[in-house]
Amino acid sequence: MTLYERAKKTLPGGVNSPVRAFDPYPFFVECAQGSKLYDADGKKYVDYCMAYGALLLGHANKEILEAVKAQLPKGTLYGTPTELEIQFAEAISKASPCMEMMRLVSTGTEATMHAIRAARGYTNRKKIIKFDGCFHGSHDNVLVKAGSGATTFGAPNSLGVPQETTQNTLVLPYNDVDALESTFKAEGASLAAVIVEPVMANVGLILPKKGYLESLRKITSQYGTVLIFDEIISGFRLSLGGAQEYFGVKPDMATLGKVLGGGFPLAAFGGKKEIMQNISPVGKVYQAGTFSGNPVSAAAGMAILDYLSKNQSQIYPKLERCASELRKALADQASAHKLSVQVYSIASLYQIFFTAQDITDYACAKHSDPALFSVYFHELLKQGVFIPPSQYETCFVSAAHTEDDLKFTIEAFDRALFAASKTRNPP
């Protein structure tokens, strides 16, 4: 029996997260090192999924492994505080402009759930705004027109989430200042929070228009609404200080995860002291977690923050150069193969859309041709390049990718785009 047939018997769809499933079946990983994944059949892949953006330094990074190995014999979970948690929170606060106080949690889903609760508790208001296609994890408040797997598998609104729960979640198009202004005019006094991915990375890659994040900042300040940047992807990836530093816009709160844990389960939510001081046991907003701030994840997180703060002046420009080289190669080759595409990159993120239309929001992203993306994905896979299997995800470059990896990838792009062009224009 294949691993997939076996997996399907105990795991829905054979996977532990829907984004991992693709037709005809996903490959099962045996091990990983640097920029490569090795599957159970011994095949090697250059990896641009990088655990959906969690691995900025690549797989099995030496510094992180050493930090974790040093922690393991000292214990894996204590149920009582450690100095490491303080050091770690101090390091996050230093790197990330808005994080005056924070709570460490285990996943991004927890972080956004608690950030929204903290904002509601602080403002004593109920409604929140999220943006069409932004993904903030899989809890009830934000599973409304959500991106990532929720879009890929056609369920941006999930069964099992009562309408009563989501009636306080207003959904607006991203990059649309007029929609923002008219909603605030009508609802401003009841809006607790606006939660946004400052760069949308869960419906492909969509960049904020010039001035858009500044408009969000201005209008939320005007109405006393808490601005939450969901930096689970952009944090420590756009720059050490995330999108806040990259764009120079400081939100009231932020959520961090993925890169922050160095490949271990760890996330954080935090922001202004006056908001965070309402969290239990100081205030009446309840939040708790058995594994929160666990010493193994915190040791991994501390190791990556240390590494990034010491090497930021080399690492971020190098990552940006690599992603932009991949973007340019995709755009040039698509044009050579007479395919209409849009290709975007920022810092270490890039993605292609198979459409002639510029992509500024989720509605535009849906114009990308899924059949062409599927040919492109499967052809890359055949050649040993693994990207996230859905158009509604983003590709991630890591510090472990080498010049040889890029050369190999660019050659694979050419064959994949040629295959896509043949589907469009069969001989």
Ligand X SMILES: Cc1ncc(COP(=O)(O)O)c(C=O)c1O
Q: Which residues make up the interface to ligand X (CB under 6 A)?
A: 52, 107-109, 112, 135-137, 148, 197, 202, 230, 232-233, 257, 267
Minimal distance, residue 232 CB to ligand X, in Å: 4
Q: Which is nearer to ligand X, 230 or 361 (CB)?
A: 230
Q: Which is nearer to ligand X, 35 or 106 (CB)?
A: 106
Question: How many Å apart are CA 229 and CA 216, to the nearest integer?
Answer: 10
Question: How many Å apart are CA 191 and CA 249, to the nearest integer?
Answer: 20
Minimal distance, residue 51 CB to ligand X, in Å: 10
Minimal distance, residue 61 CB to ligand X, in Å: 19
Q: Which is nearer to ligand X, 56 or 372 (CB)?
A: 56
Question: How many Å apart are CA 124 and CA 347, to the nearest integer?
Answer: 37
Burial (CB count within 10 angstroms: exposed 0-12, middle 13-18, buried 19+), residue 341: buried
Q: Which is nearer to ligand X, 206 or 420 (CB)?
A: 206
Minimal distance, residue 71 CB to ligand X, in Å: 21
Q: Which residues of 40-64 are buried (b: 16+ CB within 10 A; e: fewer)?
A: eeeeebbbbbbebbbbbbbbebeeb
Question: How many Å apart are CA 328 and CA 339, to the nearest integer?
Answer: 14
Minimal distance, residue 109 CB to ligand X, in Å: 3
Q: Which is nearer to ligand X, 34 or 53 (CB)?
A: 53
The DSSP output letter for 285 is B
Minimal distance, residue 323 CB to ligand X, in Å: 17
Q: Which is nearer to ligand X, 111 or 302 (CB)?
A: 111
Minimal distance, residue 194 CB to ligand X, in Å: 14
Cross-strand pairs, 192: none
- Going by DSSP bridges, is the β-strand pair 169-172/395-396 parallel, antiparallel, or unpaired? unpaired
DSSP 3-state of 212:
helix
Minimal distance, residue 342 CB to ligand X, in Å: 21
Instruction: Please report the beta strands in 111-190, taking only residues with DSSP state E, as ranges in sequence order.
Output: 127-131, 169-172
Question: How many Å apart are CA 196 and CA 222, to the nearest integer?
Answer: 17
Instruction: Enter the tokens of residue 150.
Output: 């929720």
- The H-assigned helical ranges of 47-107 are 50-53, 62-71, 83-95
- How far, in whole angstroms, is CA 158 from its chain's centroid? 20
Q: Which residue is nearest to ligand X (CB)?
A: 108
Minimal distance, residue 136 CB to ligand X, in Å: 5
Minimal distance, residue 346 CB to ligand X, in Å: 14
Contact 351, 123 (CB under 8 A): no
Burial (CB count within 10 angstroms: exposed 0-12, middle 13-18, buried 19+), residue 277: middle
Q: Which is nearer to ligand X, 7 or 232 (CB)?
A: 232
Minimal distance, residue 234 CB to ligand X, in Å: 8
Q: Which is nearer to ligand X, 271 or 339 (CB)?
A: 271
Closest CA to 421 of 388, 367, 376, 356: 376
Contact 193, 254 (CB under 8 A): no
Between the alpha carbon of residue 151 and those of residues 143, 251, 270, 376, the distances in Å are 10, 27, 28, 19
DSSP 3-state of 269:
strand
Q: Which is nearer to ligand X, 52 or 386 (CB)?
A: 52
Q: Which is nearer to ligand X, 53 or 375 (CB)?
A: 53
Q: Helix crossing, 212-223 with 177-187: angle to 10°?
A: 10
Q: Which is nearer to ligand X, 148 or 360 (CB)?
A: 148
